[in-house]
Copies of this chain bind each other. A is one copy, B any other.
Amino acid sequence: MRLGYQQFCLTGVLRVRSPDFKRLKLYIRIDQNKIFLAKKYTLKDLAQELNISISTVSKALNNSAEISEETQRKVLALAQLYHYRPNSTALRLRERRSNHIGVVLPDLVHHFFTTVFKGIEEYANARGFNVSVCFSDDSSQKEQDAINLLMDSGVDGIILSLAGETQQLKRWEYLQEITAQGTPVVMFDRATDQVLGDQVMIDDVQSAYKATQKLIEWGRSSIALLTTESYLSVNQDRQSGYQKALNDSSLSYDPARVLALPKSEVDPEALRQFFTDCPVDAVLCVNELIAVQAMHVVSSLGKRIPEDVAFIGYNNGMLSKYSYPSLTVVDQQGYLMGEKSAEVLIDKILSKTPLDTNKYVIPTTLVERDSTPNT
């Protein structure tokens, strides 16, 4: 075996000597002229090699005061040599805890969910938790499948934003089932009081109210709302806020100025029709996707943004930032929502307190860009 010429992989068993271990067995693999261990070692392996019992090894590794310094030194040395890492599956079985949480998202198309997820992931990782994700694609059935897959895989808790269909059909038995078994659930952005779990929300009514009010302050008097057809509590709340702001001002709410678009694909013709029939000087959109497309249509109708028509959207994503003109948005601070959701869930998992419902409200901010007048 001439290492110098070794080009590819090679595995074997090496017997070496060292002061602590008279004769040590090493499963190795040689790859790219470097030596790596070819095996995951267990307590048993360590115990056998050192001729002591498994429990002694275990105690030594866990800094038990019972173990002599000498023994501990040997154990730690060998563990390091072997790159010993406890088998987490065995630990899970024992502790009945997996340090693993599941996340169910409606999609990743909307930048909002991407940022929430990032927040969850980073916070959870920092606390040593793994994160598994599934998507519901806003389908109730897929949401249920996802939750089953996650639960079967043994997660300690679940963070989710309800699928649109679930909110519409009010079918959340499968969520009540898992909370009944004591698995904590945190809902963000789209939640229901019917499920026993914490909620991390933004104040959608309030944020839409303030955005609309802002448009009014800028002297806009005929303000449209572009929303989605599908039943989503958040969009309904935003509509309420919009309506309330109008009613609280000298203006009045006019249903003709509200356009509900199908969720799937936006038809530019529908937008063109709407803006032709109903001339407005400001538009509030429930997400950035709709906003950007509406801006294109309005531009193509020869109107200037923001001089003739001002736009405010939701979701502080790529589209808002890089659209032309760049879009003023209500930032839901997804990253914060994600962090908070993960924090609430992990705290509940670790504290093992009885499940209950707490509502956390994440503040929104208005990010002003070029689609609204300078202030």
Closest to A8 in B: B196
Q: Is A17 an interface residue (CB 8 A)?
A: no
Q: Is A5 an interface residue (CB 8 A)?
A: no
Q: Is A261 an interface residue (CB 8 A)?
A: no
Closest to A100 in B: B153
- Extra 17 A-B pairs, beta carbons < 8 Å, given A132-B132, A319-B322: A29-B180, A37-B177, A37-B181, A38-B180, A85-B152, A89-B89, A89-B93, A108-B108, A108-B114, A111-B318, A114-B114, A122-B135, A125-B146, A132-B133, A289-B322, A299-B324, A319-B319
Q: Is A9 an interface residue (CB 8 A)?
A: yes
List chain B residues, Cβ under 8 A from A196: 9, 31
- A135 to B114, Cβ gap below 8 A? no
In Å, the complex CA distance between A135 and B87 comes to: 23
Given contacts A289-B322, A319-B318, A322-B293, contact A181 B32 (CB under 8 A): no
In Å, the complex CA distance between A238 and B149 comes to: 40
- B134 to A121, Cβ gap below 8 A? yes
Most buried by B among A36, A38, A85: A36
A150-184 CB mask vs B (1 if < 8 Å, else 0) is 11111000000000000000000100110111100
User: What would be 18 A-B contacts, judged by CB atoms less than 8 Å apart?
Assistant: A9-B196, A29-B180, A31-B176, A31-B196, A34-B176, A37-B180, A40-B181, A89-B92, A89-B93, A93-B93, A99-B153, A108-B108, A125-B145, A125-B146, A130-B150, A131-B134, A296-B324, A318-B318
A175-216 CB mask vs B (1 if < 8 Å, else 0) is 011011110000000000010100000000000000000000
Closest to A146 in B: B125
Interface size on A, residues (CB 8 A): 65
Given contacts A34-B176, A196-B9, A323-B324, contact A117 B108 (CB under 8 A): yes
Closest to A9 in B: B196
Given contacts A130-B150, A153-B88, contact A180 B324 (CB under 8 A): no
In Å, the complex CA distance between A2 and B93 comes to: 39
- Per the 8 Å Cβ criterion, residues 250-297 of A in contact with B are 289, 292-293, 296
Given B135, B173, B181, B182, which contacts A34 in the complex, CB threshold below 8 Å? B173
In the complex, the count of this chain's copies comes to 2
- B182 to A38, Cβ gap below 8 A? yes
List chain B residues, Cβ under 8 A from A296: 322, 324
- B135 to A132, Cβ gap below 8 A? no
In Å, the complex CA distance between A292 and B320 comes to: 12
List chain B residues, Cβ under 8 A from A153: 88, 99-100, 130
Given B40, B114, B125, B289, which contacts A149 in the complex, CB threshold below 8 Å? B125
Given B36, B133, B177, B292, which contacts A36 in the complex, CB threshold below 8 Å? B177
- Per the 8 Å Cβ criterion, residues 317-353 of A in contact with B are 317-319, 322-324
Q: Is A90 an interface residue (CB 8 A)?
A: yes
Q: Is A118 an interface residue (CB 8 A)?
A: yes
Q: Is A98 an interface residue (CB 8 A)?
A: yes
List chain B residues, Cβ under 8 A from A179: 31
Given B39, B83, B322, which contacts A323 in the complex, CB threshold below 8 Å? B322
Query: How many Å from the CB of A159 to the closest CB on chain B?
Result: 14
In Å, the complex CA distance between A246 and B118 comes to: 41
